[in-house]
Amino acid sequence: MRSDGRQHIDYKTHILIGVRSSGSMTVLCHWPHVPRQSEVQHKIATTHESYDTYVLCTPTSVMPANSGNADGSNRKSSRPFGLR
């Protein structure tokens, strides 16, 4: 965790996602390191919701959110430069 209280996300972060048959996804847990299989299994076993699939992944891209006005007027396009 960073000194400002926010979680640090980088390429070493591992994210456990629950996936429903509808395709909706929920982040169940994240670790700043490679978790042991027992840690992942424990989190799955103690999850209160029902999911069809569990996905353990790492981010391939880490992009900071743009801060702007509440109406989003200062938001930049999230599309790659060549696709504007």
Q: Dihedral sign, CA of 82, 60, 30, 52?
A: positive
Q: Residue written as tokens 């048959």? A: 21
The pTM score is 0.68
DSSP letter at 21 equals T
In this predicted model, what pLDDT tens digit does every residue of 12-33 receive, in sequence order? 899 999 999 999 999 999 999 9
Contact residues for 5 (Cβ-Cβ < 8 A; gap 6+) = none
In this predicted model, what pLDDT tens digit does every residue of 4-16 receive, in sequence order? 556 678 888 999 9
